[in-house]
């Protein structure tokens, strides 16, 4: 019986000593890296819109979300009025926030941009938009514009 007790104590000591050793398999995501990912998605979405690659722009969006609907509207507008070309320029991103509600991470950020209108290749007007909100959520593990 004494040998079994000694063996149990040695085993427990070994478990406690080596419990922290070895690689960790998962780490909590860093808000800073998630912010950078979402900023890059917003920039890529605008680049896709400027290139009139609307299928690519839709891939950055959550199906049924505001950005998805807006992208479809811009696509339809490009078909109906192909002589109107809009060029968007992101000018500022600010007020980043990470919110987690009921295990669903959400990132929001405000942004400003300009929109230049070209009609039959000639510059017409530049519009300024400020204090716009981009909201991101994870879909199948990837951040998407909502």
pLDDT band of 99, cuts 50, 70, 90:
confident
Q: Report residue 56 as tokens.
A: 């690519």
DSSP letter string over the chain?
Answer: -HHHHHHHHHHHHHHHHHTT-S--S--PPPHHHHHHHHHHHHHHHHHHHHTT-HHHHHHTB-TTSHHHHHHHHHHHHHHH-TTEEEEEEEEEEEEEEEEEETTEEEEEEEEEEEEEEEETTEEEEEEEEEEEEEEEEEETTEEEE-
pLDDT for 10: 42
pLDDT for 104: 83
Topology of domain 31-145, CATH? Nuclear Transport Factor 2; Chain: A, (3.10.450)
pLDDT band of 1, cuts 50, 70, 90:
low
Cβ contacts of residue 64 below 8 Å, gap of 6+? none
Q: Which residue has the higher pLDDT, 11 or 65?
A: 65
Which pTM value belongs to this model?
0.78
Region 87-105: mean pLDDT is 90
The mean of the pLDDT values for the chain is 85
Q: Report residue 37 as tokens.
A: 């990912």
């Amino acid at each position: 019986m004494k040998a079994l007790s000694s063996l149990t104590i040695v085993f427990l000591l070994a478990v406690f000593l080596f419990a922290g050793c070895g690689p960790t398999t998962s780490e909590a995501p860093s808000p800073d890296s998630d912010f950078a990912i979402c900023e890059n998605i917003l920039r890529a979405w605008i680049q896709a819109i400027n290139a009139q690659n609307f299928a690519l722009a839709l891939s950055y969006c959550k199906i049924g979300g505001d950005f998805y609907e807006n992208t479809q509207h811009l696509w339809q507008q490009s078909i109906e009025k192909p002589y109107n070309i809009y060029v968007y320029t992101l000018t500022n991103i600010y007020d980043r926030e990470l919110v987690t509600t009921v295990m669903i991470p959400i990132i929001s950020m405000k942004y400003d941009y300009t929109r230049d209108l070209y009609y039959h290749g000639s510059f017409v007007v530049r519009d300024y938009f400020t204090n716009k909100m981009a909201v991101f959520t994870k879909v199948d593990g990837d951040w998407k514009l909502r």
